[in-house]
Structure 1
Amino acid sequence: MENQINILNMELENYDGDIKDLNEELNSLKNSHAILKKEFSSVIEENKKLSDTLKKLLNTECSLKVKVNEDYENIIANLKGRIDELLTEKNTVMKLWQNSAKTIEILEDKARMISLGQDDYMTKPEIEKIKQSYEEKLQQMQQNLISTKEKFHESMKYSAEKRDAQKESDIERSLENQATAFKIVKNLESEILTLQTRLEYTFEQKLMLEKSLMCKDGIVEGKSYL
């Protein structure tokens, strides 16, 4: 009889230890879940900003009615494709997050039922199985979250590089236009100087012709008096 009591006490201690381990693991998972939820919200916000940026680019394109070249169309198409990928990743992570929330609810209910003695004894392997299942989902969720963030930053970097390239192209075009304008001005100045020289030469020729005519008129008048 005493041996049976000792065995029951040992099982009870193991039972209490399992409950304690389960509650500690549950709290740890809840904290990890809260952190991931915060990071996930941040990714969604970044994704929204990227979508807004693309919309502004498209609206600007439409309002200015600029003829878009093939390269720019490829950039827009690439951004659209990456946003679609981000949305797909977002939906996947959202499903994983919802599954993790359900898992936490199940663990909480399980712990509550065990504490109230309303459930059969949960063995250590069962606890480990639940923990392993959740950890796998948690790792998958983290991987998807990392992948989503990497793709987002990659697309932003790609977009920034293209914008910088566009800015450099605009600057080069502006410098070329300025150089062309400078050449035009210099040519005009040269033509003006040439025209001014021709006018001065023509004016001098006119004065000489007038003097010559005056001299001839004087000679004619002198002869008429004779």
Structure 2
Amino acid sequence: MDATPRPPVLAGLRRTYEGEPLLESDVAPDPIAQFTVWFQDALDAGLPEPNAMILATASAGGRPSARTVLLKGYDERGFVFYTNYESRKGRDLAENARASLLFPWHPIRRQVRVEGAVTRIPHEESAEYFRSRPYGSRIGAWASRQSAVVRTREDLDARYEELAARWPEDPPVPDFWGGFRVAPVEVEFWQGQLDRMHDRLRYRRTRPGWVLERLAP
């Protein structure tokens, strides 16, 4: 008898999308202003962690990788997140300084996709943010060699306790940790609609501003 687990039946996961139309006449002239409107909508809707975003990177050889990180700031220059520079995403960005972001706001039938070039933010900005973090998170940044193989959980916890004993109050800013900024060249706003006829509006960077385009769903 075949005991191999069967994949779940996905047909029952169909979903109907229905939302307010997303029209060119209703959106802001630039994507950062429009993102601000939608981000506030996500906050008002009570979405858990609306600043959670999927960050996709690729190595120099084109091997892709994606993970969830938290947006920690944005303005007309781009979208900022923080990480260990020696992590897989940090290594990818050192080799290939481009990334894609995705904000999956499923409960309100929306998503925002960002593509752009990535740069490290100045050390002073990273240091200011690092000092604002809870003490435990600051020690954790030192204790974890992010993306490296760890022999046991006990080894990781022991390293944390060792560093907490070394810096009981104010750990310094690691030189291997800091922020990246994704400077957008494309920002797409997606609004779910009936019959898979979704609204997709894309802002594309030109000189000196943005072009707004509608994409087929």
Same fold (TM over 0.5): no
Larger radius of gyration: 1
Q: Tell me: higher relative CO, structure 1 or 2? Use CA pairs within 8 A at least 6 residues apart.
A: 1
Greater strand share, structure number: 2
Q: Which has the higher helix share?
A: 1
Q: TM-score scaled to structure 2, two decimals?
A: 0.17
User: TM-score when scaled to structure 1?
Assistant: 0.17
